[in-house]
Amino acid sequence: MVEYINVYLDRDEFSNRIGGGIPKGSIFIIEGENGTGKSIICQRILYGALSNNHTATYISTELSVVDFIKQMESLGYDIKDYLLNQKLLFIPTLNLFNRIKEKENLIFELTKEKSRKLLENELIILDSLSYPLINGLDKMDSIRLIEFLSKIKNLDKTIILTYNPSEINRFFVRNIRRIADIYFNLRFSSIGESSLLKMIEVKRFRYPMSIYNTLIPFRVEPNIGLIIEISSYV
């Protein structure tokens, strides 16, 4: 029987649009060019999961702890208590790996014994697969990474990966798409002649709790966070 991570919030329709929850034991990829909203989708999922008593680890290649707290607060997602009671582990990559190792893909530090605690939580978010977390994956490293992600999945963990597909190894992108249980592609969609709307295209969703939407338009507002659009779109 499939169990789910509940991400419901009464402030938006996101959970309903994706069928009511995220299956545990899933590899969940969120692709998109820069600026399409990959991080805000992760942060919305994170806050929903924490609000429903799940545990999470969030690894960021972009934000410090202070910046992360400020970012979440600006969206109306207050996560300080979750950090204090250790329901949430937030890991900036520089803190996790201590120093930049120019020629290494630092994501493989997660495979070591010292990083085991980071993988104990129900939800693990890697935002994003970019330098210094990965640094020019070759084919063998891509295979190794996919095998590692599959092992995490088999421990009944849900792991979310974000990346810009134009910036990382095509072999990895092709194969992570192939094995992903949930595959979101984020893009801009035009409205009328001059306006752009951000869009989630759900390309794959295995084991949904209920019916989900394949196209989900959204915007972001200060102090409110993610807002699902209900207006017509093209």
Q: pLDDT tens, 117-171?
A: 889 999 999 999 987 788 778 899 999 999 999 999 999 999 999 999 999 999 9
| Helix%, strand%, coil% for the chain, nearest 5 | 35, 25, 40
35 by Cβ neighbours in 10 Å (0-12 / 13-18 / 19+) ranks as: exposed
Among residues 159, 148, 165, 77, the alpha carbon closest in space to that of 125 is found at 159
Q: In the CATH scheme, what is the code of domain 4-228?
A: 3.40.50.300
DSSP for 63-83, please give it. --HHHHHHHHHHTT---HHHH
Q: pLDDT tens, 44-60?
A: 999 999 999 999 999 99
180: helix, coil or strand? coil
What residue spans define the domains of the chain?
4-228
